Structure formats: C-alpha cells, structure tokens
Structure 1
Amino acid sequence: MKTVVLSGSGVTVEDVVAVARHGAKVEAGPALAGKLEEARRVLDRVAASGQKIYGLNTGLGANLGTEISGDAAAFQRQLVEGRSGAVGEPLPAEIVRATMFTRAATLAVGGSGISPHVFSALLAALDAGVHPVMPSLGSIGASDLLVMTALARLLIGEGEADLSGERLPAGEALRRAGLKPVALAPKDGLSLVSSSAVSVGQGALAVADGLAVFTQQQQAGALTIEGIGANSNSLDVRSQAARPAFGQEQAAEGLRALLAGEAPGPRTLQAPLSIRCMASIHGALLHAIGQARQAVEIELNSAADNPLVLARDGVVLSTGNFHTAALALAFEGLGLAMAQAAAASAARFVQLTGPGRNGLPKYLSPVGGASAGFVPLQKAVSAILAAIRHKANPVVLDFLPVSEGVEDHATQAPLAVAKCADMVALWRRLVAFELMAAAQAVDLRDGLRLAPGTAAVHARVCGVVRPLHEDRPLGEDADRLYDALSSGKWQA
C-alpha cells in the first residue's frame, strides 16, 4: 500500500486520490515536527507580546473588535462549537478523507501555527479510518469554515463519526480506534476550520475523474470516426500545427494514436463539425482540466491560513489567502469546457443513430422496418445533456454579504467544484452512449478493418454490451457500460 509523506510541498492530485479512495497511509516527513514546533513558538511569542491576533485573542467576523481574555483555549472550543452550522446530507467518505488529507497537507506547509499534537491527531484519525460526519451545505467559499467544524469537533471528541461504515458518537469512534480526544491550544480551533479543504479535496477527485473520462471520450470519438466512415484528415499534424490552440495538438495526437493503422476505404470529404472539430473541442477541455489541476495543486501546497504565521520572519500577519477565487473560476471554466465536449458527443450520437448516413442503416437497426433501434436513446442523451448544461451555469457571483457586511465577498468554490463533479458523472454517461452507438456502427459495416487502437476499444465495449440484433432495453446496456467505465478498471 502506498504511503504519502507530508513535508509541506510536492503534494499532487494523485496523492489525494490514493488517500481518499485507496486507503494510502499518511506520514509526517522527518523535518516536519521541527517546522510545526517552530511555527507554534513564533505564534505563542507574538501573542505574548500583546499583538492582536485574529481568532486567538479577538473574536471572529463581526466580533473582530471583541477582545478575548481569560481561557483562550476554552474560546477555541467555543469557536468550533458556535460555528457548527452546516446542514444537509453528509459528504461521502471519499470526500471526507480527501478533506482530511488536504487539511493535513496544507497544515504541513507550516503557516498555521497549529499545535503539533493536534496535527498528529488529525493524521492518526485519518489513518485509523475515523471520519467525521460532515454535513454538505454551509460553505460559500470564503473558506469552508462551517463544514470544516465537523473535523475539529471529531478531534475534540464531539459530534458524530463514521468508523467502518458505522455511525457513532465521535468520542466512541475515537475510543474504538485506540485514539483520544485532543485539547485545543490558542488558535488551534481556527487553524482546523479556516480552510478550503472541502473544495480542494473534492476538486482533486473531480480532476482525476475528468482525466479518466477524457481518455474514454477520446476512445469514443475515435471509434465514431471509424463507425461513421469519417475522414480523419482533420487530425493531420500539419493542420493542428497551423492553429495550435490550447491542448489541440495533444488531443489530436491521442486520436491519431487510436486510429493509427486504420484501413483505407471510402471516407466522407468533410465530416460534421462534432467530428471534424474533435481535436479543437477535446483540446480545450484538456487545457481546462490542466488549469483545474494547477489550481488544486497550488492550494494543496500553500499556506492559506488567516492569520498566517511566518516562522522564518517571526511574524503573524492577517491575510486573505483563504479566499479561493482562482480555484472557483478554474472549475467554472472546466465545467463549460466539459459541457462543450459533452454536447459534441451527444451530436455524434445523433449523427450515428439518425436516418442513415454513409451507408449505415436507419437508427442503427439491422432489421429495419418498424424497429426503433437506437433512436429512442436520443431522448436520454438530450435529457442528460440538458442536465449538464444546467449545471454549467456559473455560480461564482451568487453570494450575499454576511457577518454585518464584514464578509461581503465569496467565491462559491465548493458549489463550483461539486457541480463540476456531478457533470463528470453525467458526461461519462454520454460517453457510454457514444461508445455503444459507435460499436454498433462498426458491427454494421461489412468488411471494415479497424485500427489496432479502435479495435481494442470495440472489443472492450462488446465485452460489456452485445451488438443489437433486434429491439431490446438499451437503457440497461447503457447502465452496464457506464458502470464499467466508472469502475476504475476500464482499459482499451
């Protein structure tokens, strides 16, 4: 089993996936304890000097002017409990694990001043599989503060937790795992909750899934070119170099690899735009996935704390680094690029399953007559595309000033990321439909010899869905193929 070692840098999307989905262990690097201890000493020294430090000796938000005196550690517990306002269905376990790992990775950068024992307790809970029950609604993207309180409450033994699929009081879950609740020192509560770890963690999973579906979309597109008898000259390397738009040459290269060795034969002079412009459409999407990855990995390796402890300089600064405008915009852009690719996939499905094109029978039905063939699925494709288009509408401007106007801007990053993740799943369903139709078209072309790459894709599809010889419930076939594409074991 993989072990991810945290040092404060070098964390990737793949690390998040390994921990969230595959149970990879997480360890602190050999120099990390010293880094965290030094940041804590600086925080304590600056606080002892009398400097006002947000969330340590002052209230939060509109209570900024309220001085905290007396038991500062008790205030941290109050801070956590008083902001536990998230509601709704609990987040899935993989998103909770991604959140826990993301917060650990960003704490390891060393800008929070968190107590080392609290950091160690977070790693211990993650590796023991003790996950807070995290309600899904409550963050507007000015950090995921309300949702993150579930993590802080778990570590102090409050709230509820999931352990091996059983929902328990947090204290009981910790006890069964051989762990104990921690005591929060000044600022520890704020360090745990003032983070966009939910948005970043789920964003990492969405990027990984987007890359997987992109590969499957390339396969479906190439098989469509074969099945419909389209001219692939538009993929010529010279054509792509003439207008090297973002990602276009890379997408074309992947399609050419799938089609390498395709048999000569009659081809259309120019295919419909959803086919002829495939490299442009897929290239723009690949670039958007790359932008989202970059935004996520910047967050994974940054100190986005407020206040920020700069141990090397011995200072504590107020910052706006918790604000995730760039992350939100990256995922809004990814959603639009995905919707565009999904629309092209849907258009190709309609081309394949229409009244008959390039010698294909009407509706891809080998029997003709009153046979419905594939044409009823055009309605399902249209419905799925409508759902994708609905989710592609931007949300980054949908916020209200809160906390007496102190918090008068928000990014809606968690909503931008969550709807993007939903779109990935819907898009994968369209890819399943296109693969089914393209494989059927190939089967209906007598004597067609596929390229090795597309032949492998065709064989993989036919291993899940048999060719259509007479009308049957194709929705069930589409579900089976979607499950195969989603399994993480799809190869071609």
Structure 2
Amino acid sequence: MVVLTGETLTLDDIRKICLEGERIVLKPESMRKVEQSREAVLKIVSDKKTVYGINTGFGKFSDVVIGEDDVNELQLNLIRSHACGVGDPFPEQVSRAMVLLRLNALLKGFSGIRPILAELLAELLNQHIHPVIPQQGSLGASGDLAPLSHLALVLIGEGKVFYSGNVCKASEAFHHTGLSPLILEAKEGLALINGTQAMTAMGVISYLEAEQLALQSEMIASLTMEGLEGIMDAFHPAIHEARGFPQQSAVAERMRNTLAGSKLVTRQGEKRMQDAYSLRCIPQVHGASWQALDYVKEKLEIETNAATDNPLIFDGGQTVISGGNFHGQPIALAMDFMKIAMAEFASISERRIERLVNPQLNDLPPFLSAQPGLQSGAMIMQYCAASLVSENKTLAHPASVDSIPSSANQEDHVSMGTIAARHCFSIIQNVRRVLAIECICALQAVQYRGIERMATATRVFYDEAREIVPSITQDRVFSEDIENMTEWLKKNKAGWTALNEGREFERWKQNA
C-alpha cells in the first residue's frame, strides 16, 4: 500500500503501483488541503468574482465571462471538445501512471477540486480501471490537453477503459465495480486537463524500462567480452578514476565484478594490445548514457510531485494566479536527452554484434554458423540490428526544438514534450531488441569458446538465457528467437544477474 500525499511520490512508488499493481491510499492531511482549496473556489463563484478557468472561457476565450448557471456546462463542454486524441492508445501501464500522477498533483491542494473527484481517481487505480487514451494530439503546453481530456471522460462515465483484460465502455466498468460517474463542477474540468501528466507518465515508464535495460546491457556486454576474448585492462579502476566521471567508474566496476574469475577474457598483450572501441570504451559510452539517465530521473522526480495546472489557488483563495506550470519544456528536454542516451546503447551494441559475426574481425565460425556457407547463421540478425539502430537515429531527432502556435496565437510556444516521450518509449523498445540480438550472438560465441571457462555470474546468465533461446545448431526462423529473448529481457527482473548466490536483480542494481 502506497500513501499518496501530493509531495512524496517516488519513481519506486510508481513502479510498485503501475507495474506491480500495488494499491494506494490518500493521506487525510492532503485531502484536507483539497477541501480547503475547494472552499476557495466556491467562494469565488458565490462572490461573482471573475477568475480564469472558473467562470471564463479557455485559451483565446479567456476574456469571455461565463454566467454562474453555466459553470458546470462549461466544464463538460471543455472535456468533450478537448478529447481530440487520435492514434493507438498509450500502453495500459502508462494510462495507469497518468491517473496516478494527475491524482498526486491534485492532492497538493492548489487546484480547487472536490475531494470526491480525488477519491474517484483513487478508485480507478485500486479497481484497475484504466482510461483508453490515444497517444497523438498533444502539443505539450497548456497541459497535455487532449490525452488528459480522454482521462477525464472516464470520470463522467464516458469514453473507454481497460478493465479485466478487455476494453469496454467506462459506464460498463463502473457498473461492474459499483462506481458512479461525476458531474464536473466549477474549475474541475480544467484542473483535470491542465498538466504534464501524459508526457511525464510516459517518461516515467520509459525511464523504469531504460534503467533496467541499461543494467542488462552491461551483463550482455560482459558476455560479448568473453565471446571475443576481450582485454580486461581497459576496465582497470585507475583509468576511470583518472577521468573522474562516477557513472563511468561504476560501469567499469560492475563489468569487473561480473567478469571476475573468467578464463575467457584476456590481458593487454596476451593476444593483442587493444580492443576496438565497442569493447574498450564500454564504460565511457555506457557511463555517459547513465549520466543522462541520472539527469532524467531528477527531472521526473520533481515533475511527479509538481502542481502543473492553471490557475493555482493559494492562501485559502486570497491569491489565484494564472501562470504556465503546464508548459512541458523541462520534461521535453529530458525526454529528448533520454532518447539520445538510450539510442547509444543500441548503437554500440550493434557494433559489438558486427564483431561477433564478422569472420574478418574474429576467429569464430563465420556469422556463428554451424555450417558456414550452407547455413547463414546470424548474418541477417546483424542486418536487423542495423535497421533498428538506423530507425532510432530518426526517432532521436529532438522534438523540443519544434513549436507551432495554437489557440489563435494565445499559446504561441509549445514544448512537444509528449511527442518526445512517445519517441523515447519507441527507442527503448528498439534498443531492447538490439540487445537481444547481441545476447543471442554472444551466447553462441561463448559456447564455441567453452562455457566451462566463463565467469560465475555470466555462466548463471548463460544457463538461464539458454532456456529462452537454445543453441544455434542449424538455421531456423530467428525472428522468434529475437522476440523471445526481447520478452524475457523486458519481463525478467530476478534470476538472470547474480553476482552472488542470491541471484537477485536488486542486489546487483544496488551497485549502480
């Protein structure tokens, strides 16, 4: 059970709630803040003050005053008209994260919603009712208006949801669970859709996958080091301390620990003086990507506990300020940074794949084939990896450098942060497949070298990975192997790492 406060949500909490299905509970003190901000909205309405978003139109219509009798209809019209998302839906875990992050922001007590609305969002999480939210249509400023409007539709009993493994109408899911839809009142519609929760939710889920994938890349690279009889001197701590980047030193340390005791790796001058960069510079390249991931994590942790709607209510309603916290620029830049960082894991991995399969670059059977010439072996796996790497180069183009004015030029600079987050997620899926290909090739290479000579940790990994993809004894449909390995890497969190007898992912991860 995770207690939501509006202030203390961590990425680990999000992992537990969104990826492991943990239930949530709302902190009473936070709910009191919600109640107090609601009282401020009611006073504004009763005093007939004109305040943006409560009794005015939106965007370019901000100067249009709305009568007291029409404020509820204003909110309903807002949600329906803004639900313009198109394309495939966000993954269900991202939708769950969106609900969680929107709820957490509202619990800060700056938004003026009724407590019952926060309670309904909490019920969606605990009943595992997740809005079906189209991915395309957000500019990443004024909030993620289109995606969050599809989220808000569910609260009024409209739209579709993921429920019990199926997609159904929100009204049907409510009927099955005994929930009742709400009639939105003053400011509530705007409070639901002004925010960065679509890009941030996609960003957090992407980061959680990226972090695990970055660690997996080191285990797979270690396997490649053994398959190519790589030189361990390049991982000597003195080299990395001399440069001073802690992430680089940490990668080198984990690689040394993973390869401890291996009789397949070599020393400088034993077989050759230097390895190619794709082996020798693993700590430098992977470490730089870890630096970017650390930056991204910091920004995501701030944004998950941020008030990003507009206007915000302070001092018990004495101060209502219309600002721009909904602008997604901080997350847009972070997502573009993570895109580049993750693409590099695949880029250097593909070069290691080439060294594993190219007979001009190693002394292994050409393309790791059981019968070179008659059988092509891993030849086309490298083609596939190269294609994915090339696709990533296109996806890695920064989305945040673009802006198109909207709302009759009232909203004249936007972040495109949701596009950046979506492209980042796609890159991560491609990276995992490239690493899966490297893993398959490295497994075959160490088998030729002699698995009895492997390090303890890599041998544990080898044995478990061989349960997923068997040895290549003849050509077969390797697409199935790549997808099986990809799925294993995505789902598997324990049992494959093992720097000690416990074999637990988290124990190894603690060294990150």
User: Normalised by the size of structure 2, how large is the TM-score?
Assistant: 0.91
Q: CA deviation at 1:288?
A: 1.5
* Aligned position for 1:103: 102
1:204 Cα offset (Å): 1.0
Whether 2:282 is the aligned partner of 1:284: answer no
Query: Larger deviation: 400-409 or 124-133?
Result: 124-133
Contact in 2 for aligned 1:200/1:296 (Cα 8 Å): yes
1:385 to 384, 389, 410: 389
Q: C-alpha deviations, 1:346-372, integer Å up to 9, x for none?
A: 000001100154532322234445432
Give the CA RMSD over aligned residues: 2.0
Distance in 2 (CA, whole Å) between partners of 1:34 and 1:447 is 62
Look up the match of 2:239: 239
1:159 aligns with 2:159: yes
In the alignment, which residue of structure 2 is the partner of 1:438? 442
In the TM superposition, what is the alpha-carbon distance from 1:299 to its structure 2 partner?
1.0
Distance 1:187 1:120 in 2: 17
Matched, 1:343 2:347: yes
Contact 2:343-2:428 at 8 Å conserved across structures: no
- Which residue number in structure 2 is paired with residue 268 of structure 1? 272
Q: Which residue of 1 aligns with 2:140?
A: 141
Whether the 8 Å contact between 2:41 and 2:186 is mirrored in structure 1 is no
| Aligned partners of 1:442 and 1:448 also within 8 Å | no
* Match 2:312 to one of 293, 304, 308: 308
Work out which of the residue numbers 393, 401, 413 in structure 1 matches 2:417: 413
Partner of 2:68: helix, strand, or coil? coil
1:424-446 CA-to-partner distances (Å, cap 9, x unmatched) read: 11101111111111111111124
Q: 5 Å matches for 1:57-68?
A: 57-68=55-66
1:317 aligns with 2:289: no
Matches within 5 A, 1:31-430: 31-46=29-44, 48=46, 51-71=49-69, 72-142=71-141, 143-245=143-245, 247-263=247-263, 265=266, 266-311=270-315, 314-430=318-434
CA distance in 1, matches of 2:478, 2:233: 33
Identify unmatched segments of 5+ residues in structure 1. none
Contact 1:157 1:171 (C-alpha < 8 Å) held by counterparts: yes
CA distance in 2: counterparts of 1:176 and 1:441, whole angstroms: 54
Contact 1:350/1:378 (8 A) holds in 2:
yes
CA contact (8 A) 1:464 1:481 kept: yes
Say which is worse superposed, 351-360 or 160-169, in terms of deviation: 160-169
Residues 422-477 of structure 1: CA deviation (Å, up to 9, x unaligned)? 11111011111111111111111248612212222222222222222333333322
Matching residue's letter, 1:70: E
Structure-2 change in CA distance of 1:281 and 1:270 (3 Å): same
Distance 1:153 1:313, change over 3 A: closer
Structure 1 pair 44/246, CA: closer, same or farther in 2 (3 Å)?
A: farther
Cα deviation 1:41-67 (Å, max 9, x = unaligned): 233335555543211121110101111
Note if 1:478 corresponds to 2:482: yes
- Does structure 1 retain, via aligned residues, the 8 Å contact 2:356–2:362? no
Q: Is the 8 A contact 1:130 1:177 kept in 2?
A: no
Give deviations 1:213-260, integer Å, cap 9, x for gaps. Answer: 111100111111111011121111110011123621121121111112
Q: Report the identity percentage.
A: 31
* Equivalences, count: 490
Secondary structure at 2:28 match in 1: coil
Partner of 1:21: 19
- Contact between 1:363 and 1:373, CA under 8 Å: does it hold in 2? yes
Tell me the TM-score normalised to structure 1 length.
Answer: 0.94
Give the match for residue 507 of structure 2. none
Residue deviations 1:368-404 (CA, integer Å, cap 9, x gap): 4543222222211111111211211111123311111
Distance (Å, rounded) in 2 between the aligned partners of 1:482 and 1:166: 24
CA shift for structure 1 position 31: 1.3
- With over 3 angstroms needed to count, the CA separation of the structure-2 counterparts of 1:246 and 1:323, relative to structure 1, is farther
Aligned residues of 1:111 and 1:304 also touching (Cα < 8 A): no
Q: Distance in 2 between matches of 1:425 and 1:442?
A: 26
Cα distance in 2 for partners of 1:193, 1:62 equals: 17
Amino acid at match of 1:439: L
Q: Counterparts of 2:135 and 2:73 in 1: how far apart (Å)?
A: 27
CA distance in structure 2 between the aligned counterparts of 1:473 and 1:254, rounded to whole angstroms: 34
User: Taking structure 1 as reference, are residues 365 and 130 closer, same or farther at Cα in structure 2, changes over 3 Å only?
Assistant: closer
Distance 2:372 2:400 in 1: 49
